[in-house]
């Protein structure tokens, strides 16, 4: 009887040991999976950061080029206006023409500002989309 009790206890201990071994293996596998997911997420974040940096750099260059082109255009217009002024042609313009020139200058400034804000909005939208993809990939 004592021998049966000892055998039964040994069987129970072996069962518990086997169950613990399986649990340890599952926890190890889960740890490996978490490490893989973490590594993938880290790579995606690095890629996203680099993409954002590139987008910002392209937009910065575009803005610089746009400003240069607007500067050239502005210089040309200013030269023409100065030439007209020097010829006293401006004196013959009516008050309405002078107001129109002021309006054109204001519109030019507004177009420049609008272009900048449009570019900025585009960057923000792109960042939102990239973050959305990153969050989806994370899930």
Q: Where are the domains of the chain?
A: 2-138
Separation between Cα atoms, residue 100 and residue 60, nearest integer Å: 32
The pLDDT mean for the chain works out to 84
Length of the chain: 139
**What would the mean pLDDT of 3-28 be, rounded to a whole number?**
92
Quick: pLDDT tens for 31-60. Answer: 999 999 999 999 999 998 998 899 888 888
Q: What are the Cα distances from residue 63, in Å, to 60, 104, 115, 127, 134?
A: 5, 21, 9, 18, 28
**What would the mean pLDDT of 66-94 be, rounded to a whole number?**
75
Q: Classify residue 93 by its DSSP letter.
A: S
Q: How many Å is the maximal CA-CA distance in the chain?
A: 127
The pTM score is 0.44
Q: Is 60 exceeded by the pLDDT of residue 90?
A: no
């Amino acid at each position: 009887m004592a021998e049966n009790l000892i055998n039964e206890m040994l069987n129970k201990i072996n069962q518990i040991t086997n169950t613990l071994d399986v649990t340890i293996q599952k926890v190890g596998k889960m740890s490996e999976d978490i490490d893989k997911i973490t590594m993938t997420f880290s790579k995606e974040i690095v890629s996203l950061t680099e993409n954002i940096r590139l987008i910002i750099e392209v937009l910065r260059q575009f803005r610089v080029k746009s400003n240069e082109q607007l500067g050239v255009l502005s210089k040309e217009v200013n030269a023409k206006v100065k030439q007209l002024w020097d010829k006293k042609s401006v004196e013959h313009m009516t008050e309405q023409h002078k107001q129109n020139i002021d309006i054109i200058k204001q519109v030019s400034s507004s177009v420049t500002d609008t272009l900048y804000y449009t570019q900025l909005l585009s960057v923000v939208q792109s960042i939102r989309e990239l973050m959305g993809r990153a969050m989806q990939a994370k899930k």
